[in-house]
Structure 1
Amino acid sequence: MVEDNDDIVSQVDEITIFPPVNAAADLTDEDSGAENDLTVNNLPASQLQAPVEIVIESNYDSYFSSDDNIPLSELQSQNTAASNKQKVKTKKRQMHYSWIKEDLKLPPTDFDSPTNSGITENPLELFSKFFDEEVIELILNQSNKYAQQKNRKANIAKQEVNAFIGVLILSGYMQVPRRKMFWEREKDCHNVIITEAITRDRFEYLFSNLHVCDNQQLDQGDKFAKLRPLSTLLNKKFMDNSSLEEMHSVDEAMVPYYGCHSCKQYIRGKPVRYGYKLWVGSTRLGYWNWFEPYQGASTNISENFSELGVGAGVVLEYAQALRKEWPDKKCHLFFDNFFTSIPLIEKLTDWNFYATGTVGENRLKDISLIDSKLIKKQRRGSYDYAKIVEQNIIAVKWHDNSVVSVCSNFSGVAPIHSVTRYSQKEKKNIQVQQPHLIQMYNTNMECRPL
């Protein structure tokens, strides 16, 4: 056990508990013990047998995010097909490249000026663009179908669904220990807006029957099958209402959740440490265009991208959604070292995308860049770079607080920028040289969806 080894516990950076294999089944995997007295002995066998990933803390790439290191887990192949996929991945990672000391030239862009238009809608109109009639009808039909399957009255009305969603939104701003307190008569908790919109018993009835998918037609291989119709529909709404922009980022986001559920994740050091983790594709200012719930190696990614791994598959899924929406525009994607690899940037280049991302040194084999131990001894702002022969892909290693490596098919070192950093040694601000692709990354990953 991890807790039996103090040396390991002190270095643990992230613990990911995968959902059990029956997470999409009709029977839930809730704890068997009392709700307020939870122990490991109360957990169901399906949860206790679920795999766990442990990420050991590392100082590498601490300039950006230490929790984005590749999980140190070994996934055992379940069948021959999975074994063959693993062989393809290994072969892909062992590809060798020839590198030369050459910089990239800034290419032309399809975007002359920002395309964002001012927001003229009020909050209700904006919300209705995403939770429109199609989404409300989905919730209404599936909730009535579930109530009928349970031999209950399938008489939920559309206005009740709207009122139910409104109560959920309002409860996020006006929190009470128990939701039934909104209907109590005491002045410190009674809410007139809620009581006039829907009765307590009717709200509880909707709460117990709320569904967006038919339980009799669940995909057993998808751990988020019960929410898949809603997430697919919302992704469509997000993209339909998105404005055309050049810069996009791909990262993880946490949906806060502190209850007991097998899909809940824990990420140490994040503003939101407990909750559901989502892969998110967003614009530079944080507008969500696309998201996919994280469920480990079985994340809903096309098999066409499986040879590149889950991280690269997430980026390619988002790139595919952008290409479908804007087939003639060359967007620029930014992502961190969990996703970045040379084969991924090659694939995005073939798809007519620009790409920039931090990359782990273990993914830059056979490259003639200065060793990280040596560049740390040089002055702050030192850098080295190399370009793949006959390809427009460059790798840059830069020394700031720590050593960071970045790959790109868009820009290289020039033009050099001067940035202000505080020197702990000199006890004052100093000017540090910064390559152009580093500045591009910092600018467009500042508003990550976290």
Structure 2
Amino acid sequence: MEELKTLKIGLLGSGTVGIGVYKLVEAQREEMPHKIGANLSVKKVLVRDKTKKREGIDQCLLTDRFEDIIEDDDIQIVVEVMGGIEPARTYINAALKAGKHVVTANKDLIAEHGKELLDTASEHGCDLLFEAAVAGGIPILRPLKQCLAGNHLSEVMGIVNGTTNFILSKMTEEGMEFSDALMLATELGYAEADPTADIEGYDAGRKVAIMASIAFNSRVTFSDVYTEGITKITSRDIAYAKEMGCTIKLLGVAKNTPEGIEVRVHPMLIPSSHPLAKVDDSFNAVFVHGDAVDDAMFYGRGAGELPTASAIMGDVIDVARNIQFHCNGRISCTCYKELPIKKINEIESKYFLRMQVEDRAGVLAKIADTLGKHNVSISQVIQKNSRDNMAELVVITAKVKEQNFSDALADIAEMETTKKVSSVIRVY
């Protein structure tokens, strides 16, 4: 029997996910000959300090020189789990130019420089796969590129940040305020020491840019995505949402409309009966609509050592199979269109508007008149009396262009009877 060859991996980074990848390669060692027709092993691991011990990784594999990987002809697959733009961008470009195939989990890099890297991969007949860059262990990019390729996709939306979903879940289930829920998320390890990228929507924005590019076959970068975080959401907003049969979630929304692509991340009230409303804690879910498939939803763990490593290993196995059958580079950049990106003020939404107003006759009529002058229709009103002749007023609008609503809101905020605009949240 012919001896099986061994495909060698160079691993860039040995943090939580890097260790997860190494563990899976080892755990799957006996399965690989059956899955890919070859053996698979990690030959080198790039680290900053090779004297520091890494859990479960043989010290002799560690190197602090990228040249040890790029110049090693035995290494055919490079797995990048360092994160950040540089030096990851330089390293991936160099690996592709050296004819090595690359698997990465780097959403920041792909959202900003995906075209450049995919062009380099195509030029050198290499695979560049990045399933783990979006939604952790949930398969979504490969389904968009392959399983759903027979569809014209019109919408991709979902919960793609576990930290913010955990925070909003705690606020919904236990009535916590944002600051307390964030503190709990930090204590449990769901939130980073600096949670800005999560709570301001930047992390989700990068993922939405990647999904929109693939789903609509047109380049979308992070700078195209309107982002708004969850820091202004209060338990009072959530209580009103519940009263109206809704749940507040941080959603990434991408739509392919006749006028152009909409890409945005912001909190949104969605009906509590919607499948995404039932996605709680650190779980993620992506909802896709296509002309042939209709609706499909992908649900699972959106982050973590092994869920993310699972997505990376799926890509590594795909690359290994391509190597075995000499068909690398068969799916490169799928952005063959150049569709316009709509500005946020051109997008239509419904709105939840909560404000403190004087509790006297004619105030609601005046607000309704101001909204009407800007072509904003009211679909629902809740008014609750509070103290000192002040009332809390909640208005739900019909669908309206963002610019019209913004103009109306500016006028309402300047009215003498308006003491405070407390919340503005879009409604699905």
TM more than 0.5: no
Q: TM-score, normalised by structure 1?
A: 0.26
Which gives a bigger RCO, structure 1 or 2 (Cα 8 Å, sep 6+)? 1
TM-score scaled by length of structure 2: 0.27
- The structure where strand makes up a greater share of residues is 2
